[in-house]
């Protein structure tokens, strides 16, 4: 994965892109419909439009649906704050889910 903050893009390497599954999900009204765990979730430039309560609800849903040490990519101008920040480890522009044993 290549991240270029100046040009505001993320480029996924072809071998990863071929394994990707894209899903449409309404983060406001849908309950947890994923039904499985993921290694990688991208949700860029969405959280900035949510209030704190909805941000935390959405981040918790992502946290629940990430495998231990899975990672979440959010927008360059977004960050994880408050109690949810304790559930992730920030590495560059990615947030890694802390495994249950590390909480």
Full residue range of the structural domain in which residue 69 is found: 23-102
Asked whether residue 52 is assigned to any structural domain, the reply reads yes
Asked whether residue 15 is assigned to any structural domain, the reply reads no
Taking residues 6-12, report their average pLDDT. 67
The pair of structure tokens assigned to 63 is: 């946290």
pLDDT at 46: 92
Asked whether residue 90 is assigned to any structural domain, the reply reads yes
Asked whether residue 9 is assigned to any structural domain, the reply reads no
How many domains, in total, are found in the chain?
1
CA distance 65 to 24: 15
CA distance 37 to 48: 24
pLDDT digits (tens, 9 = 90+) for 21-60: 777 778 888 766 667 888 889 898 999 999 999 999 999 9
Question: What CATH number corresponds to the domain at position 96?
Answer: 3.40.50.150
Asked whether residue 8 is assigned to any structural domain, the reply reads no
Q: Which DSSP symbol is given to 85? A: G
pLDDT at 4: 57
Task: Name the pTM for this structure.
Answer: 0.78
């Amino acid at each position: 994965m290549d991240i270029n903050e100046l040009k505001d893009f993320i480029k996924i390497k072809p071998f990863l892109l071929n394994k990707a599954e894209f899903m449409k999900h309404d983060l406001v009204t849908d309950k947890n419909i994923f039904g499985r765990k993921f290694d990688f979730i991208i949700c860029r430039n969405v959280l900035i439009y949510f209030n704190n309560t909805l941000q935390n609800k959405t981040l918790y849903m992502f946290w629940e649906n990430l495998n231990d040490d899975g990672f979440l990519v959010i927008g360059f101008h977004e960050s994880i704050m408050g109690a949810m920040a304790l559930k992730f480890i920030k590495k560059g522009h990615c947030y890694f889910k802390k495994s249950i044993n590390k909480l």
